[in-house]
Amino acid sequence: MKKHEKPMRDKLKMVGRVIRASGAARFYHDGDGAGFVWRWWSPVAWVLAPLSFIVACLAIGIPDAWRDRHDFGFGMKPWFIQNPDRLFWD
């Protein structure tokens, strides 16, 4: 992790605050810091539950995809950038 990057827990804390303020979930402390129960009778929960799942997946997946972007065909592998003298073109 780079010096200026925040841990994933801090990035997703804002999403948790929105869910708590809307009343879509009820949080409790069980020791691991991730205890909550969706209030499925709330129409806001029907919107926020799938939306928070998508946001969590994107928040975790985008940095990994950006770090490995050369495997997807975007940019060059770091080895080629660090060792340009070993490149041989056929």
Domain spans of the chain? 8-78
CA distance 57 to 24: 20
Write down the pLDDT at residue 8: 60
Note the pLDDT tens digit of each residue in 2-39: 555 666 666 667 777 887 788 888 877 766 656 778 88
Write down the pLDDT at residue 30: 67
- Residue 76 per-residue DSSP state: -
Write down the pLDDT at residue 2: 59
**2 or 40, higher pLDDT:** 40
Q: Are 12 and 4 in contact (CB under 8 A)?
A: no
pLDDT band at 68 (very low <50, low <70, confident <90, very high): confident
Write down the pLDDT at residue 78: 80
Q: Are 44 and 21 in contact (CB under 8 A)?
A: no
